């Protein structure tokens, strides 16, 4: 074991203390230095420059007219093909209001509707829901027209390269609002036990065959929301691919699904048989913008 003189130990202690002070002090200074380095601001011509310069204001104070073609999807019994249009004015480049509307030009039955028409079975237990399988396509609910007003947010916008050759501006449009949907459903009726079973109204409808064809129309108010991808090819023209959801309750099958207290079956077709459906549609439209000349920021 090496014995060190007291004075040597004192020297070593002083050196260690000094070294510690230097290390700690340097460390503190380093910390201070790095903290100050983060405060260094960009200088030169880019100082205080915005993230985007010469930004093209595609929407601000411009009117957008968009004829579109749409189709509903995810439907149980019938899909609607819709032709319509949308008109939108944007106060800011990222905020605007708009109205839209369209009418069903055709309704396509789903495979389930065809299966029921071909293979459905009518008994005394389900006569109200399916009086005859052949006329089942006539009893299902259908959309006739749609309209709505929306608030549009366009927080994300940018540019897009396609195949590294074609470049265009694009944005994501989020919207929320109210939709008004004109629908046709099977009319209210009640089955009487019989025998023979008959529905009322219409009066004394034996077998409920007439009630199966009776239709009633109403307008539904529903929340509406969605997202659209918009791309612009000219200063006054673009394309929009839009997904929209507008959930509301309706009786899509024209069947007896529930009673006033949730009982099934209650022997009546009425408002208690309406079930919440998450109605959705996709649309593709062409955007025409006025005034045709676009403005840019500095």
Partner 1 sequence: MEFSLDEVEDEKPNRAAQKKVDKEAEEEGDLIEQLAAEKEVEGPEEPAPKREETVEEIYAVQQIYALRLKRFELAPSAVFTVNDKYLKHPGLGVAANYWFTNVLALGVNFIWYDWGNPLERGTTLVQQIQRSFRLGVPINEWQFGLWANFTYVPFYGKFSAFRKFLFQWDSYLIGGVGIMRTKPIPVFDPEIREFNWDTRVSFNIGIGLRIFLTRYLTFFTEFRDYMFLEQFENVNVDPANRDDPSTWLAGSSTFFNNLTVQFGFTLFLPIKFEYRLPK
Of the residues 122, 132, 144, 197, which one makes contact with partner 1 according to CB under 8 A: 122
* Minimum distance, C-beta of residue 129 to partner 1, in the bound complex (Å): 4
Interface segment toward partner 1; rule CB under 8 A; list 31-39, 201-209, 217-225, 250-258: 250-258
Task: Tell me the closest approach of the beta carbon of residue 138 to partner 1, in angstroms.
Answer: 15
User: Shortest distance, CB of residue 33 to partner 1, whole angstroms?
Assistant: 26
Of 8 and 115, nearer to partner 1 (C-beta) is 115
Report the nearest approach of partner 1 to the CB of residue 169 (Å). Answer: 9
Helices (H), the chain: 6-38, 111-119, 136-139, 209-213
Contacts of 4 (CB under 8 A, 6+ apart): 12
Distance in angstroms (rounded) separating the CA atoms of residues 125 and 291: 63
SS3 201: coil
- Strand 56-57 with 189-192, pairing: unpaired
Rg of the chain in Å (alpha carbons): 34
Dump the DSSP string for 80-92: EEEEEEEEEEEEE
Q: In which residue are the tokens 């202690």 written?
A: 13
Size of the site for partner 1 (CB under 8 A): 40
Q: Residue 52 or residue 105: which is nearer to partner 1 going by CB?
A: 52
Rounded-to-integer distance, Cα 63 and Cα 136, Å: 45
The span of 3-11, 32-40, 44-52, 203-211 binding partner 1 (CB under 8 A) equals 44-52
CA distance to 83, 156, 230, 240, per residue, from 283 (Å) = 9, 20, 12, 8
Q: Do the bridges between strand 198-200 and strand 205-206 make them parallel or antiparallel, or are there none, so unpaired?
A: antiparallel
168 Cβ contact list (under 8 Å, min separation 6): 159, 160, 162, 231, 232, 233
Q: Are 277 and 251 in contact (CB under 8 A)?
A: no
Residue 249 as a binder of partner 1 (CB under 8 A): the answer is no
Among 133, 215, 249, 274, binds partner 1 (CB under 8 A): 133
Terminal-to-terminal C-alpha distance of the chain: 79
Cβ closer to partner 1: 92 or 237?
Answer: 92
In the shown chain, the binding pattern of residues 74 to 93 toward partner 1, with x for contact by CB under 8 A and - for none, equals x-x-----------------
Least distance between partner 1 and beta carbon 71 (Å): 14
Work out which of 1, 46, 47, 162 binds partner 1, going by CB under 8 A.
162
Asked if residue 123 binds partner 1 (CB under 8 A), the reply is yes
Give the shortest CB-249-to-partner 1 separation in angstroms: 14
Q: Which of residues 209-228 bind partner 1 (CB under 8 A)?
A: none
In the complex, the residues that contact partner 1 under the rule CB under 8 A are: 50-52, 55, 74, 76, 94, 112, 115-116, 119-123, 125-126, 129-130, 133, 136, 155-164, 170-172, 253, 255-257, 264-265
């Amino acid at each position: 074991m090496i014995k060190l003189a007291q004075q040597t130990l004192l020297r070593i202690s002083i050196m260690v203390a000094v070294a510690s002070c230097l290390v700690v002090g340097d460390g503190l200074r380093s910390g201070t230095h790095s903290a100050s380095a983060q405060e260094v601001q960009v200088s030169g011509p880019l100082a205080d420059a915005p993230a985007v310069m010469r930004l093209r204001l595609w929407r601000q104070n411009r009117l957008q007219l968009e004829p579109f073609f749409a189709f509903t999807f995810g439907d149980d019994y019938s899909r609607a093909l819709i032709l319509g249009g949308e008109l939108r004015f944007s106060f800011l480049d990222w905020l605007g209001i708009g109205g839209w509307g369209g009418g069903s030009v055709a309704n396509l039955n789903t495979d389930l509707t065809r299966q029921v028409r071909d293979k459905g079975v009518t008994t005394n237990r389900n006569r109200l829901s399916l009086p005859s399988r052949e006329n089942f396509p006539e009893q299902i609910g259908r959309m006739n027209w749609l309209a709505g007003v929306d608030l549009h947010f366009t927080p994300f916008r940018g540019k897009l390269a396609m195949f590294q050759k074609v470049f265009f501006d694009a944005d994501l449009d989020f919207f929320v609002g109210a939709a008004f949907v004109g629908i046709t459903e099977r009319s209210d009726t009640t089955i009487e036990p019989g025998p023979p079973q008959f529905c009322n109204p219409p009066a004394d409808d034996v077998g409920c065959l007439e009630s199966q064809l009776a239709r009633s129309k109403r307008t539904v108010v529903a929340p509406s929301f969605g997202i659209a991808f918009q791309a612009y090819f000219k200063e006054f023209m673009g394309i929009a691919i839009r997904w929209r959801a507008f959930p509301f309750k309706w009786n899509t099958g024209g069947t007896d699904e529930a009673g006033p207290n949730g009982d099934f079956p209650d022997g009546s077709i009425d408002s208690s048989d309406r079930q919440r459906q998450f109605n959705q549609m996709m649309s593709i439209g062409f955007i025409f913008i006025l005034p045709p000349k676009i403005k840019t920021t500095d």
